[in-house]
Structure 1
Amino acid sequence: MRFSERIGKKQIKSEIQIDSMDSELRIGIWNVFYLYIIKPLEKENYITESVFKNLVNRVWFSFFKEAMDQIPIYTGDIAIILKERFFSWDYLGVYDFIDFIASHKDPSINYEGFSDSINFILKRELSGYRIVSGSLAPITDELEISEIEKAVSNAGSLNLIGVKTHLSEALKKLSDKKVPDYRNSVKESISAVESICQIITGDPKAELGKALKLISKKLPIHGALEQGFIKIYGYSSDADGIRHALLEESTLDQEDALYMLISCSSFINYLIIKCNKQGIQLSTVS
């Protein structure tokens, strides 16, 4: 907080930016691009000799979707085009570009530093989005981000392929800003919990309700928590849920999908900790 804000002479920014992007947020994001990509790119003079050659080719081919023979030879000219495009896009265009760069993890970029710096700006300027596991996601709470990242990381390190795949898909479907699929995001979140429960029980075909009852015999899970997830499973299977192929449009919204992803990630982390304490080895049967 600046001095003028601390003494009440200047209003503190308090509105989370979801469907807009003010100039401070846009410039902050640009400055990260400049430090990690534009500035080192300009130093190399010719794109044919640059470590950023593959990244630039990918941007033209897959993001701009324009003729690659129109890519300038000089890196300085490329930098000018990137800046002009960046400041001409609406907020969705800027976020699409962040997501594109983050998801490709090009070796020419210090990905960890880039992601951390982008997230610093997004947090500082009260953006409702963060980079989480290589995708831009509509998340507004740091603890929520931590739970999701931890669940994806735990699933990856333990080689729980099904769990990681479902969580990643849930995040991907939630994060699509143009055509978000909240219905199937919830399905993937619940499927991630079902997957780890199948792994713990050793029954790859057990549905979540049955698996939770079997798990309660192996792990000291509080009855209320068990019943809570059984009810969530029921919610995901009802007429407005996602486990059935419905013809009518679902009324699920962003907050529903986000809540399910956070809750399911937290529960997965909880089950992994419980298994560790009980000496239960997790193996990928699901």
Structure 2
Amino acid sequence: MGDEEIQRRKALSFAQAVGFEPLPRQLKLDEIPQSVKAKLWFLVHSEIHASSKSRGDLYEPILSLVKNFWVSYEHRMIDEFRSSRQDVINAWKPFFAESMPWWRTLDFIQWMLRSLESADFARGVEHVLKSEMTAYRLYEGTTIIPVATPEEGAAIFNALDGLTDPASQPIRAHLLQAAKELTGGNFAASARESISAVESYVSSATGKKDFSKAIYALDQKKTLHPAFKEALIKLYGYTSNEEGVRHPLLTKETAPVTEAEAVFMIGACASFITYLQRTFDQAQKFELGATAHRLPNS
């Protein structure tokens, strides 16, 4: 195993590295790993300790925050309020338990972001969400938003479901690798593998290695909409023109591909593959049926 492969695996779980988790974390909406919950709790726990005395009494800014939580978030009576450090830890820690639904954890974090109004805490939360490659990011320091849409995740699964025969394995391998690289934060490599999956499909379907010629050859088999055909060619051109995307070994600089661009690429390329499969598989079946109909009875 080469050094490059070892470095790649360091950024992935074992399941991701061997292909048992095909969907990148950025597209896994409606969930967050326990590792994220643990790191978010570390941030919250640190804020509690930073605003408490050695004997456990709380002071500002956490004291006001805890009162706000007690009344506005938990809807409990203020005369029952308890302000010791351990009482707060006992009340807040369950939001980060493995059994706690993901949305309750993020809801609590967003409430704390808006109530605490701490730039340092916001930077910590953003770092956790981003470094763990979750499907969520922090917007303007107070609002948690998704990176992608459910449709983008579904596009990858739809493409993989259609790539089960032996001839499709190279295409499938590129798409799975794109997902792994995206999870590992290697955005240029993910974009490269995404377009390579489309390239592998059109090459195997036409026998032509040149991408543009392969697309036009497909167009001869079944007419593609001109705008769709040009979109494929321009998408390939983007990865070819962006330094370090298509030819990473020929440049020492990292290709300037953002996470958002890599997420778009894998979703778009997976959708392209599914569309091309359905279009040309149906066309091929029609041709075979027409040929069989023309054959004389024996």
TM-score if structure 1 supplies the norm length? 0.50
CA distance in 1, matches of 2:194, 2:132: 24
- Which of 212, 221, 242 pairs up with 1:209? 212
Deviation at 1:253, TM superposition (A): 1.0
Residue 151 (1) aligns with residue 159 (2):
yes
Q: Which has the larger radius of gyration?
A: 2
Aligned to 1:260: 265
Could you report, residue by residue, the CA deviation over 1:124-161 in whole angstroms, capped at 9, with x for unpaired residues?
A: xxx539xxxxxxxx963111111011111211257501
Aligned to 1:105: none
Tell me: CA distance 1:29–1:248, structure 2 relative to 1, closer, same or farther (3 Å): farther
CA distance in 2, matches of 1:145, 1:157: 22
Contact 1:241 1:250 in 2 (8 A): yes
- Range 161-170 or range 240-249, more displaced: 240-249
* Mapping 1:1-286, distance limit 5 Å: 21=37, 26-27=96-97, 127-128=135-136, 140-157=148-165, 159-176=167-184, 180-201=185-206, 203=207, 206-240=209-243, 242-244=245-247, 245-279=250-284
CA distance in 1, matches of 2:238, 2:227: 16
CA distance in 2, matches of 1:20, 1:251: 27
Contact 2:147 2:260 in 1 (8 A): no
| Bigger RCO of structures 1 and 2 (CA < 8 A, at least 6 apart) | 2
CA distance in 2, matches of 1:216, 1:157: 24
**RMSD of aligned C-alpha atoms?**
3.6
What SS does the aligned partner of 1:242 have?
A: coil
Tell me: CA distance 1:194–1:235, structure 2 relative to 1, closer, same or farther (3 Å): same
Contact 1:139 1:145 in 2 (8 A): no
CA distance in 1, matches of 2:222, 2:160: 22
Contact 1:174 1:257 in 2 (8 A): yes
What SS does the aligned partner of 2:241 have?
A: coil
Contact 1:235 1:241 in 2 (8 A): no
CA distance in 1, matches of 2:223, 2:166: 21
Contact 1:193 1:208 in 2 (8 A): no
Aligned to 1:117: none
CA distance in 2, matches of 1:25, 1:170: 33
CA distance in 1, matches of 2:154, 2:173: 18
CA distance in 1, matches of 2:132, 2:99: 10
CA distance in 2, matches of 1:169, 1:160: 14
CA distance in 2, matches of 1:144, 1:171: 12
Aligned residues: 166
Could you report, residue by residue, the CA deviation over 1:70-125 in whole angstroms, capped at 9, with x for unpaired residues?
A: xxxxxxxxxxxxxxxxxxxx968x969xxxxxxxxxxxxxxxxxxxxxxxxx9xxx
**Which amino acid letter does the alignment assign opposite residue 199 of structure 1?**
S
Tell me: CA distance 1:251–1:17, structure 2 relative to 1, closer, same or farther (3 Å): farther
Identical amino acids, percent of aligned pairs: 27
TM-score if structure 2 supplies the norm length? 0.48
Contact 2:240 2:246 in 1 (8 A): yes
What SS does the aligned partner of 1:170 have?
A: helix
Tell me: CA distance 1:275–1:234, structure 2 relative to 1, closer, same or farther (3 Å): same
Q: Which runs of 5+ in 2 are unaligned?
A: 1-30, 42-93, 103-126, 138-145, 287-298
Tell me: CA distance 1:95–1:277, structure 2 relative to 1, closer, same or farther (3 Å): same
CA distance in 2, matches of 1:25, 1:166: 38
**Which amino acid letter does the alignment assign opposite residue 27 of structure 1?**
A
Contact 2:36 2:132 in 1 (8 A): no
CA distance in 2, matches of 1:228, 1:241: 21
Could you report, residue by residue, the CA deviation over 1:190-242 in whole angstroms, capped at 9, with x for unpaired residues?
A: 100011101211x1x51222211111101221011101110111111114351
Q: Which runs of 4+ in 1 moved over 2 A?
A: 16-32, 156-159
Contact 2:181 2:189 in 1 (8 A): yes
CA distance in 2, matches of 1:200, 1:249: 32
